[in-house]
Amino acid sequence: MAANGTGLPMARKPLAKIVTEDKQGNGMCHDDSAKGIKAQTIDELHSLQKKRSAPTTPLEGNQGAFASLPDDERRRQQLQSISASLASLTRGAGPKVVRGDPAAKSSQAVEHVAHRHHHHVEAPTISVSDDSSLKFTHVLYNLSPAGALATLSGAKTGRSPRDKRVVMDDTTQNELWWGRGSPNIEMDEHTFLVNRERAVDYLNSLDKVFVNDQFLNWDPQNRIKVRIVSARAYHSLFMHNMCIRPTDEELENFGTPDFTIYNAGQFPCNRYTHYMTSSTSTDLNLARKEMVILGTQYAGEMKKGLFSVMHYLMPKRQILSLHSGCNMGIDGDVALFFGLSGTGKTTLSTDHNRYLIGDDEHCWSDYGVSNIEGGCYAKCIDLSREKEPDIWNAIKFGTVLENVVFDEHTREVEYGDKSVTENTRAAYPIEYIPNAKLPCIGPHPKNVILLACDAFGVLPPVSKLNLAQTMYHFISGYTALVAGTEDGIKEPTATFSACFGAAFIMLHPTKYAAMLAEKMQKHGATGWLVNTGWSGGSYGSGNRIKLAYTRRIIDAIHSGSLLNATYEKTDVFGLEIPTEIEGVPSEILRPENTWGDKKAYKNTLLKLGGLFKNNFETFTNYKIGKDTMLTQEILAAGPNF
Ligand SMILES: Nc1ncnc2c1ncn2[C@@H]1O[C@H](COP(=O)(O)OP(=O)(O)OP(=O)(O)O)[C@@H](O)[C@H]1O
Ligand SMILES: O=C([O-])CC(=O)C(=O)O
Ligand SMILES: [Ca+2]
Ligand SMILES: [Mn+2]
């Protein structure tokens, strides 16, 4: 393998050159779940997903056999560990767990284990005091995929940030960001245990549960072991794809997980429980290293729950956690893509001419960047083979398709169909992208690209930022999408989400911003602001900037050619915009040129500038890093009028 000057092995597959051509939150957190689904019953929901047609191919069962697992003492210990995870905290004994599917009689064999707290159990000789200890819980452990799966997440088709709770204890009270604007809504330890017990009891009442033991973070020194206990094959396959998959040897030596998720998604929380404001609750307990999910089956909760945990653990080790995509050129130049949901992290980091390090969650340490995940989670509304060939081709055996509509006989997916939700998704292992960089690590970033989907249509398609501007826009975390496009034209609404991921950060935004500033400065990275949203007018009169043009802009950033372009400064935001980019019509580079109504342009620009100013007011009293100068510069780097 070539060393290519990065000290890292190159991706295994050569790069083939090709010609390429809402959700709206309130306040700081974006909420994909705000809109309800259009079904009253589960059957109705299923009928939404399947388009009726005449059968052209015979229906075949796609329930492939589960991989059979090897036998021995290690497995007994694994079962014991799983029983320990599933143990009720009030009954002292864990459930009797047995490996395999209860439906497959042969696997019902004798291998079962019960767990008692702090004791080694030789045989299940617990005195029976309740009915739950009379039954076995069948465990389906680290199964391999049995096919492509198109599934429904039920009533929730996005995350539920208002139902997120974090245990406040003596430690987290001081360490975490609480209060206005923060995504961390408090709960106490006792209430957490009430919800944990509810989830564990539910899971133990089932015939079978799925257990995934996997890793987070490709940086071997900072790898985290996670266990996910879930009730649906969908959730297990999703996490199989999204977390890093252990090798057989790694699984043998897995031991105790560093963090455990209890996903009892189909079972609601109890609204009479303190702190509960709906039937959905996602609860983080950093001291116990556990997360509980009740009342939502949206799989993104698991992914983003673990991301929150990384946003707590990594900064403690001076490692910056990032809601960003990341890719690397053949010369080892790394780019980060920050942006809120739907702004293009996955689309633009998945680039046929570059190596994909990851599409959504990364760490930046003293040694470079590493992906946290082992898979990608792409939006697939209106997905097309021409515009996004790599994502299109990644949807195959093993991929989970969430909430898409398909033809019930041909099983062809209709990517344009929004019947279930606009937030349709595909989750696939990263190696399904031909140019995935394995292992998913790279050197220090050269370019930091901030993506905004500006539905007001006033931000330039690209601007070069100085460090203070980069920090200003990183802390602002702006995007504007248009929710509910069906019932006619709607006003765009601005969303500001600090660090382009306020829903997942655990510490105050300025902590992450200071780390980013320090790293960018130290490693000489250049910041860019790229508008992947509207041009020629706001949503309703203008159009979304063509993906092909955005790709040319990104190409010019990667190649370094944009660094040497001629620039002019814009009014209000004071952004440096290039006058020319190869492959992009020059007139679109200055938004003002593209608007027919110049007065409307100016008014809209001032309106957006005002929204930025208002949003930033909460940060004006904070110092960013040790450098008082930088704080002053950041405050001055916003819109000026
Ligand atoms: N000019 C453009 N640039 C980028 N994406 C565009 C553009 N025009 C349309 N799109 C579409 O916008 C969507 C961008 O979604 P993408 O999956 O990349 O979001 P994301 O930033 O990864 O969000 P999330 O964090 O929710 O995964 C895609 O469906 C893409 O096809
Ligand atoms: O987490 C999700 O549901 C999807 C996602 O990547 C985001 O919103 O940033
Ligand atoms: Ca994404
Ligand atoms: Mn994301």
* pLDDT surpassing 50 at residue 542: yes
**Is 483 inside any structural domain?**
yes
DSSP-derived letter for residue 447 is E
pLDDT tens column, 423-455: 999 999 999 999 999 999 999 999 999 999 999
- Residues 133 and 213 both lie in one domain: no
- Residues 204 and 348 both lie in one domain: yes
Please give the order of strands across the beta sheet that includes 149-151: 149-151, 400-402, 425-429, 375-379
**With a 6 A CB cut-off, is 531 part of the ligand 2 pocket?**
no
323 is catalytic: yes
* pLDDT surpassing 70 at residue 53: no
Report how far residue 601's alpha carbon sits from residue 156's, in angstroms, rounded to the nearest whole number. 37
- Residues 454 and 353 both lie in one domain: no
- Residues 372 and 455 both lie in one domain: no
Q: Return the exposure string of 99-135: e unless at least 16 CB atoms fall within 10 Å of the residue's CB, then b.
A: bbbeeeeebbeebbbbbbeeeebeebebeeeeebbee
Q: Which one is catalytic: 85, 282, 308, 341?
A: 341
Q: Which residue puts its alpha carbon closest to atom 1 of ligand 1?
A: 547
- Residues 398 and 300 both lie in one domain: yes
pLDDT tens column, 620-631: 888 888 878 888
- Residues 109 and 175 both lie in one domain: no
Q: How confident is the model at residue 118, as a pLDDT? A: 45
230 is catalytic: no
Q: Which one, of 583, 556, 548, 578, lies nearest residue 333 by Cα?
A: 556
Q: In the predicted model, what is the mean pLDDT of the chain?
A: 88
Range of the domain at 600: 447-462+475-499+529-636
* pLDDT surpassing 90 at residue 528: yes
Residue 64, number of CB atoms within 10 A of its CB: 11
Q: Which one is catalytic: 345, 352, 446, 552?
A: 345
243 CA to centre of ligand 3 in angstroms: 14
**Is 183 inside any structural domain?**
yes
- Residues 154 and 244 both lie in one domain: yes
DSSP-derived letter for residue 176 is S
70 CA to centre of ligand 1 in angstroms: 42
Confidence of residue 71 (pLDDT cuts 50, 70, 90): low
- Residues 223 and 359 both lie in one domain: yes
Q: How confident is the model at residue 24, as a pLDDT? A: 35
Q: Which residue puts its alpha carbon closest to atom 8 of ligand 1?
A: 547
Residue predicted with more confidence, 63 or 5 = 5
**Is 570 inside any structural domain?**
yes
- Residues 417 and 451 both lie in one domain: no
The backbone torsions φ and ψ at residue 143, rounded to the nearest 5 degrees and listed phi first, read: -65, 155
Share of the chain above pLDDT 70, in %: 86
**Is 219 inside any structural domain?**
yes
208 CA to centre of ligand 2 in angstroms: 28
**Is 169 inside any structural domain?**
yes
What is the residue whose two structure tokens read 């020194």? 221
**Is 41 inside any structural domain?**
no
pLDDT tens column, 4-15: 444 344 444 545
Task: Spell out where 478-533 has E strands.
Answer: 478-481, 493-496, 526-531
The backbone torsions φ and ψ at residue 346, rounded to the nearest 5 degrees and listed phi first, read: -70, -45
User: What total number of domains does the chain contain?
Assistant: 3
Q: Ligand 1: which of 307, 347, 390, 459 to mutate, judged by most atoms within 8 Å of the beta carbon?
A: 347
- Residues 488 and 575 both lie in one domain: yes
| Span 286-293, average pLDDT | 98
| Span 493-505, average pLDDT | 96
Q: Of 115, 138, 161, at which residue does a domain stop?
A: 138
Cβ neighbours of residue 606 under 8 Å, at least 6 residues apart? 572, 641
Q: Which one is catalytic: 32, 219, 283, 360?
A: 360
- Residues 176 and 134 both lie in one domain: no
